[in-house]
Amino acid sequence: MDKIDIKPNEVAVYALGGLGEIGKNTYGIEYQDEIVIVDAGIKFPEDSLLGIDYVIPDYSYLVENIDKVKGLVITHGHEDHIGAIAYFLQAVNVPVYAGPLAMALIRNKLEEKQMLNRVELHEITDGSVVNFGKTSAEFFRTTHSIPDVFGIAIKTPVGTIVETGDFKFDLTPTTKQKPNLWSMARIGEEGVLLLMSDSTNAERPEWTKSEAWVQKTVDKLFNQLKHGRIIFATFASNMNRIKMATDAAIKHGRKIAVFGRSMESAMTNGRALGYLDIPDDALIEQSQIKNIPDDELLIMSTGSQGESMAALARIANGTHKQVRLKPKDNVIFSSSPIPGNTASVNAVINKLEEGGANVIHGKLNNIHTSGHGGQEEQKLMLSLMKPKYFMPVHGEYRMLKVHAGLAEELDIPKENTFIQENGDVLALDGVNPPRLAGHFPADDTYIDGSGIGDIGSVVLHDRLKLSEDGLVIVTATIDLKKKEILSGPDILSRGFVYMRESGDLINDGRHVIFNTIRKAMAQKTPSESDIRQAIIDDLSKYLHKETARKPMILPMLIMV
């Protein structure tokens, strides 16, 4: 780890995740002996991360400074902001401060990990102030695609650091939780040293449409789709869309059945917190759907991102135990594909269409709007906060760069904007220009099953190699003392060639290995490792010459 040089009169700002990427949002504000962490998110793996469930930050820096960490403050309840919270708290067990819905979701996660009784949880609301000693955190309401969304102003003796969280300025939200413009303007008037602002939609020169605009479309669709079941797919975390669909179902006399574990949890939390007004008699058990006429049924489903194990994909593939696709079914996708998910979403849509369903999706149908503000809203946030310095966050590099350009348009000098990388430590004293005060390792940590960080580049390289060219296993029994081959060599192929149709290749490969072993044993003091490596080298050259492929070769030798 590089030496971190933070002076006593400076406040330091850094990201453990969230810069140059979508997801893994985790930010730190450090002043003297106090560190406040904003969010603890995950990132979903890219296609190249074979077998990886999700990605979290490296918490080593926080573990080394655990006595300084005073609390974890949460902006909202999306996975890229709270998904890693159990892993975070295993490494750094500190008090957690979050809004009602985020707190309900956090409780669920901690209960699953049997950690709930070991963690100190505090529920906050708009205007809440949490004092840590020399620093404090003030929460101000914003709007997003989920209720209880907050920006956070971290106040330090050096100045105020504002982290917006995900936001847009929705003045007609379906949750009735309007953005607190007055608080934002007040915080800006009081003075903001550094603004850290959501860059997700920095490339969109627009004002993102309100959820009320989508609600009109949903109402219109439910009015038009009088025949057949309606299957409504959206993010389980998008309480706005769940409310729209269930309100419309009740209005048009449809019973509601819920499929998908995360959707069931969202409905339970939404009703308990008062975000969803669904009478008990409007909900039916999954087993009861066969008793309800098709034109009186709404199925709320997970799987809007084409996830292979989600309810919607299983319905499309005909593998769902309780829901069979019918020709008159109407399937509404109220979401847009996350980058990387387009192919899987399209595959599910094609399967649904092949099954005769009427699928409604895409921008042309006006059934989705982003939860992130476009350029106009990003400029409004900058104008309200009036920061002395600006650090774009929550986005890939090109998004951060465009957002930096917007700040320059609003007369924030170019030299006052800082595009950082995860692990960079930016130090500010409020008088002199900010400076880079060092860097700590902030690499990805991979979660694979119950393993945390035990999968590295070597394993991922092996998985990639296996996925591309397959595996060849070589078996043989060897007497090293007598320098004889007692049995074999034999070759077994998995994912490389079909053995029944590659007899000549396999037989010739066996001859290559036989000669290689004989040659290796002819050495004065042959070792098992020498023989293994010789087999790998010679067989690899032969197979590449014959097939132009390089499978992984695994010698399994029995030494007598």
What residue numbers does the annotated binding site for substrate cover?
368-372
The Cα 226–Cα 253 span in angstroms is 11
The Cα 167–Cα 179 span in angstroms is 9
Would you state the structure tokens that stand for residue 397, as one six-digit string?
A: 């590099």
C-beta separation of 256 from 222 below 8 A = no
The Cα 155–Cα 168 span in angstroms is 23
- The order of strands in the sheet holding 330-333 is 255-259, 297-301, 230-233, 330-333, 358-360
**Residues of each annotated binding site:** 368-372
CA distances from 364 to 145, 204, 235, 498 (A): 20, 17, 19, 46
C-beta separation of 548 from 534 below 8 A = no
To the nearest 10°, report the CA torsion of 544, 549, 550, 554.
Answer: -90
The Cα 543–Cα 263 span in angstroms is 50
Contacts for 108 with CB less than 8 Å, ≥ 6 apart? 265, 269
C-beta separation of 419 from 6 below 8 A = no
- The helix/strand/coil state of 476 is strand
